[in-house]
Amino acid sequence: MGEADKPTGGKARDEVAAFLADPYADQSPGLQRLLFSLRDRPAAGKLVLVEIEAGRRWQLARLGGRGKPVERLEPVFDDLREAERHVFRLRMDLGMGEGA
């Protein structure tokens, strides 16, 4: 993501609030760019969700990288929307939304 494409200030807060309100709602171009920057990372160390019971339960996990195991973390979720929000918040807290 180029410097000109990064969400800033109140606009970034609006995009974060929009995602947290409904992770599956239509997304503005700015929110799409933010989500792409959060998801477009090297696999090693990336936070993901692992489906542990088809359509019913998901667990936070960290990818180990090529040839390394996935590390399952806490918590486990019964609500996929809440799980998506949790991963989003963690990625934002790690600074991954800043083009890091």
Residue 76: beta bridge partners?
59
| Contacts of 45 by beta carbon, 8 Å cutoff, 6+ apart | 62, 63, 65
Q: Is the peptide bond before 75 cis (omega within 30 degrees of 0)?
A: yes
Q: How many domains does the chain have?
A: 1
With 80 as the cut, is the pLDDT of residue 2 above it? no
State residue 96's pLDDT score.
55
The range of the structural domain enclosing residue 37 comes to 3-98
State residue 40's pLDDT score.
87
State residue 77's pLDDT score.
98
Per-residue pLDDT of 36-92, as tens digits, reads 988 888 889 999 999 999 999 999 999 998 899 999 999 999 999 999 999 999 999
Q: What is the mean pLDDT of residues 23-39?
A: 91
Spatial separation of the C-alpha atoms in residues 13 and 75, rounded to whole Å: 26
